Amino acid sequence: MIISHFDLDTFFVSVERLLDSRLNGRPILIGGVTDRGVVASCSYEARTFGVHSAMPMRLARELCPQAVVIRGNTSNYSKYSQMVTEIMKESVPVLEKSSIDEFYCDLTGMDQFFGCMKMAHELRERIIRETGLPISFGLSHNKTVSKIATGEAKPNNEMEIAPGQEKPFLAPLSVKKIPMVGNKTYQSLRNLGVQKIKTIQEMPMEMMERVFGKHGIDIWKKAQGVDKSIVVPYSERKSISSERTFERDTIDVVKLKGILAAMAENLAFQLRRGDKLTACITVKVRYSDFNTHSLQARIPYSAADHLLIPKVNELFNRLYDKRLLVRLVGVRFSHLVGGGHQINLFEDSEEMISLYQAMDRMRNRFGDRAVLRASGMGAKTIGQTMNPFTGEPPMLLANRHA
Amino acid sequence: MKFIVSSTGLLKHLNQISGVLNSNNTLPILDHFLFQVEGNSLSISLSDLETTMTTKMDLDKSAKDGSFCAPAKILLDILKTFSEQPLSFDIDEKTMGIELSSDHGKYKVPGASADEFPKAIELEGGEKIKMSSSALFGGINKSLFATGNDEMRPIMSGILFEINEDNLTFVATDAHKLVKYVRSDVKAKKASTFILPKKPNNLLKSLLSTTDAEVELSYSNTNAHFSIGDVQLVCRLIDGKYPNYDAVIPKENPNKLTIDRHAFLNSLRRVSLFSNKTTHQIRLKFAGSELHISAEDLDFSNEASERLTCSYEGEDMEIGFNARFIVEMMNNLDSDQVTLEMSAPNRAGIIRSLDGLDESEDVLMLVMPIMLNA
C-alpha cells in the first residue's frame, strides 16, 4: 500500500486570506466571536502567542489581543474545499475526504507509471497554483504514518517516509502525535512515564492492552507504524445531529423545548430529503457545570415530524428534571436506513401526508427555513444549509471541539 | 388407578393440544397435561391460563376412574420413540408417581395432583353458532398474517370476529396492512363482536388443517369456546375496542390494475431482493398497460427493475410499497387473477381476487403505501 495524506494548512485562515490580502502576516483567530465561542482555526502568527484551536475565544483574545477575530463563513470554506476535492478526484485513483480540509489518497500501483512522490508533489503544486491555498502532505505505506508525516511536514511542505523507516521516524515523536491519542489517553500515558513513541515501541503489546484494553492494542500497532485500514472513498452518514450552545445559560423550558422542536423538525426534513428514516433518537443536555446528560430511545423507523417531535419532547422531559441552568441542548437521529415513511392506516391522515409533501417542496425550492413551526421560530440559527447525505464529511462547527 | 392406551393414539391426541405449552412457564403445573379417566374415556387438557385445550379419546382398558397431572415434555418425547403398542399407566394415588410400562420396559416419573391444574373457564350466558371447519380455517388462515406484533397495542394482535344476521367477518390489521374476510354462510341471531388473541388463532389454524369436523362456537364478553370434533378450546378474549376499520377503507378507487397473481408474485420476489433489507421498499409505476416494478438499495448499490404487461384502467401513477406486505398477500390468495385498486400515491391500495373463491366467501386486503420523494 502507498497512501498519501493531504492537509490544507490553517484552512479557514488561508481562505480568509485569499478573500482579503490585508490579513497576510497578521495573527488571525476564527471561531465563535462571543465569550462562549471557541477557536476553530488560527494562523501560525497567532500560534506563537500560545493560541491553539479548540481554545476558548476569550482566553485566545487575552493571549493575543492584537489578533484579528473573524466569525467565519462555512459556505466559503465548503466552496474552497470542494475546489480542492475536484482537483484531487481528477488526479488520484481512490480518494477519501476525511474532513473538510483532509484527504487520503491510495496511490498503490501508481509507482509503476509515475513515481508516487513525484505524482503527489505535482498534485500539491497544482492545488497551490489553482486554488492559492497552502497544502501539505505526507507519503508512506499507511494512513497513520502519512498523517503523522503531514503534521511534521507542515506548514506548506511535504514528506516521504520510505518503507522500513516508519519506526525510526515515529520513535522520537511525542505520543500525542498518534491520531488516536486524545487528552485523556495522553495523560494516562504520561502518568505511566511514557512520553515518546519510542517507549511504546519497546513496550510489550500485552502491557498496553492491560492498561487501555482493545484501544491499547490499536495504539501499540500504530506506534509500530502498522495500520491496515484502507482508504474509503465514500462514507455513509450514520447519524445526523444538531446542537446549540446558548449565549447565556437558561432555565426557560418553553424556549428549550421550542429549540429542540425546531432542531427535530429540521433534522426530520433532512431525513426526508435524503430518503432516510431513523430508528433512534438521542436528546442531549449540558448544564452550566458542564455535566452532560443524554437519553436515547428506539422507535419504529420514521421520518415524520408528528412522531419525532413528541418523542424528542418526551425524552427531554425525562432528562431535564433538575431545574439547573442549561448551557447546551442537542438532538441526534441515528440508526439511519434508506426509505420513505410507511403510512399508518389509523394515525396518519391524508391531510398530514399532503402537508409534509407541500412543506418539503417549499423547503426544497426556497431553503430549509422557508416554512417552520411557530414554536421553533425563536431559534434563529438552527438549520443546516447543506444536505448531509452527499457523502461529504460533516462541517466542523466553530463552537464544537475538534 | 390404572389404564391401558394405544401409544400412537395417545401421541396423536397429545399433539392436537400440545401447542398450548409455553416454552417457559412461571407456574410448574402449566408444564403438565391433565388426564381425566371416566369409564373407558380419557380426556386430556393443557392450559396456559389464557387458553385451555382438551381432547378426548377411548381407552383400551381402565380399572378405576380418576385424574392426575403428568409432565408434558417428557411424555411427548418418549411417545415419539414408540412404535404402535399398548402402554399401561399406573398411578400411585398417594404420591402421584406415574409408572409407564411398554413392551420394552418401565419408566417412572413424578406426577401432580389434578387439583393443582387451573380450573376450566365456564362460559356464562353467551351465544352459540355453528359453522363448517373450512369457514373458520379460511377466516383465520387468510387474516392471521396481518395481525400486529406491537405489545403497546394488544388489540391489534388478535383477529376481530364480527357476527351478525347476514355473515361472519374476520378482520386483522397492524395499521400498515389489513385483511377483511367475510363468510356469508355463517350467521347469528344476535349481532356481536369479539377479538380472539393470536395464540388460539394459531392453535385453531393448525388443528383445522387436520380435520373437517363441524365447529361449534360459543362466546361471551370475556371468553370463547370452540368445539371441533374431539377437541375443545376455551380462551380469554382481548378486552378493548377494535379500531374503526371500515372508515379507513377507501370507497372510491378509480385506478385499477388487473394482473396474473403468479407473475406478479414472482416479479415482486425477484425485485424485492434488491430493495433495502429493512424497509423492503419497492416502486410500482403504472403507465398504459404496463407495470414497472423497481427497487434500489443505495447502501449496497443494488438496483432492479422489471416490466410486466397487465391490464390497467385509470391515470398513470407511481406508488411505493413495502414488498413484503404485498408478497404475503399474494401468497395468501389462491386465485389466478388479482386486482389492485388505488386512488392516490398516499392512499391505501386494495387487493382482491377475481376467481378461486367460494360463493360464500369474500376477501379484501388493504396495504398502505410508503411516501415516495417526488
pLDDT of residue B73: 93
Tell me the residues of B at the A interface, defined by beta carbons under 8 Å apart. 173, 175-176, 178, 243, 248, 276, 278-279, 281, 297-299, 320, 322, 344, 346-348, 366, 368-374
List residues of chain A with CB under 8 Å from any CB of chain B: 236, 272-273, 275, 277, 301, 337-347, 350, 353-354, 356-357, 361
Clarify whether A102 is annotated catalytic. Answer: yes
Query: How many A×B Cβ pairs under 8 Å?
Result: 69
CA–CA distance, A219 with A206 (Å, rounded to integer): 12
pLDDT of amino acid B139: 93
Report the percentage of chain B scoring pLDDT > 90: 75
Helices A253-273 and A305-319: crossing angle in degrees, nearest 10, is: 140
Task: Examine the pLDDT at A393 and tell me if it is beyond 70.
Answer: no
| Residue among B199, B192, B194, B193 at smallest CA distance from B157 | B199
3 state SS of B16? helix
Phi, psi of B140 (to 5 degrees): -75, -45
Cβ separation B374–A345 shorter than 8 A: no
- Calculate mean pLDDT across residues B204-209: 93
How does residue A379 score in pLDDT terms, banded at 50, 70 and 90?
low
Length of chain B: 374
CB A150 within 8 A of CB A169: no
Rounded distance between C-alpha atoms, residue B164 and residue B191, angstroms: 4
Q: What is the average per-residue pLDDT within A112-136?
A: 87
* CA dist., res. A266 & res. A240, Å (int): 11
The pLDDT score that the predictor gives to residue A162 is 86
Q: Band the pLDDT of A315: cuts 50, 70, 90.
A: very high
A337 vs A280: CA distance, rounded Å: 11
Cell 389489513, residue?
B178
Nearest-Cα residue of chain B relative to residue A335 = B278
Is residue B10 scored above 90 in pLDDT?
A: yes
The beta strand positions in A303-373, using DSSP E, are 326-334, 337-338
Q: Give the C-alpha separation, A207 to A67, whole Å.
A: 46
pLDDT recorded at residue A72: 78
Mean pLDDT value across chain A: 85
- Nearest CB partner across the interface for A345, out of B176, B346, B371: B176
- Look at A132-136, A182-186, B169-173 and tell me which has the smallest mean pLDDT: A182-186
CA distances from B1 to A187, B38, B91, B368 (A): 79, 11, 5, 60
CA distances from B207 to A229, A396, B93, B121, B212 (A): 57, 63, 33, 21, 10
Residues A221 and A197: beta-carbon distance below 8 Å: no
Contacting residues of B for A345, CB less than 8 Å apart: 173, 175-176, 178, 248, 348, 366, 368
B356 secondary structure, DSSP code: S
Where does A239-396 sit in CATH, by number? 3.30.1490.100
Shortest Cα distance from A386 to chain B (angstroms)?
18
CB B362 within 8 A of CB B335: no
> pLDDT tens digit string along B29-72?
999 999 999 988 999 999 999 999 999 999 888 878 899 999 99
Instruction: Write b or e for each residue in A80-93: b if 16 or more Cβ atoms lie within 10 A of its Cβ, otherwise e.
Output: bbeebbeebeebbe
Give contacts of A361 with chain B, Cβ < 8 Å: 374
pLDDT digits (tens, 9 = 90+) for A202-241: 888 888 888 888 888 888 888 888 888 888 887 777 888 8
Q: Looking at this predicted complex, what is its ipTM?
A: 0.79
Better pLDDT: B160 or A52: B160
φ/ψ bin of A391: left (φ > 0), alpha (ψ from -120 to 50), beta (otherwise): left
Residue identified by cell 418539503 is A360
Distance CA A281, CA A239 (A): 10
> How high is the pLDDT of residue A392?
65
Bridge-based pairing of strands A68-70 and A28-31 is parallel
Residue with cell 392516490: B344
Is the per-residue pLDDT at A386 higher than 70?
Answer: no
pLDDT value at residue A317? 92
CATH superfamily of A1-161: Reverse transcriptase/Diguanylate cyclase domain (3.30.70.270)
Alpha helices in A20-138 (DSSP H): 44-47, 57-63, 74-91, 116-131
Q: Dihedrals φ, ψ of A316, to 5°?
A: -65, -45
Mean pLDDT of chain B: 91
pLDDT (0 to 100) of residue A109? 81
The string of pLDDT tens digits covering residues B62-117 is 878 899 999 999 999 999 999 999 999 999 988 999 999 999 999 999 999 999 99
Of A374 and B237, the one with more pLDDT: B237
Predicted local confidence at residue A79, as pLDDT? 86
Interval B248-276 mean pLDDT: 93
Arithmetic mean of pLDDT, B339-368: 91
One of A16, A62, A96, A102 is an active-site residue; which one? A102
CA-nearest of A324, A280, A316 to A300 is: A280
Nearest to B279 among A272, A301, A357 (CB): A301
Residues in chain A with CB shorter than 8 Å from the CB of B279 are 277, 301, 337-340, 342
Cβ contact A319:A248 at 8 Å? no
Report, at the CATH architecture level, how domain A168-223 is classified: Orthogonal Bundle (1.10)
Provide the residue ranges of all domains of chain A, joining segments of one domain with +. Answer: 1-161, 168-223, 239-396
Contact A337 B173 (CB under 8 A): no
- Reduced to 3 states, what is the DSSP secondary structure of residue B233? strand
Antiparallel, parallel or unpaired: β B159-163 and A326-334: unpaired
- Residues A288-297: pLDDT tens digits? 888 889 999 9
Checking if the pLDDT of A48 tops 80, the result is yes
CA dihedral of residues A40, A44, A50, A53 (deg, nearest 10): 10
The answer to whether the CB atoms of A353 and B346 lie below 8 A apart is yes
Helix (H/G/I), strand (E/B), else coil: A295: strand
pLDDT band at residue B374, thresholds of 50, 70 and 90? low
- Alpha carbon distance A158, A128 (integer Å): 13
In angstroms, the CA B306 to CA B308 distance is 7
Quote the pTM value.
0.76
Name the pLDDT band for A387 (thresholds 50, 70, 90). Answer: low
Which residue of B279, B284, B303, B367 to mutate against A (max A Cβ within 10 Å)? Answer: B279
Quote the cell numbers at residue B1.
388407578
Contact across the interface for B278 and A301, Cβ inside 8 Å: yes
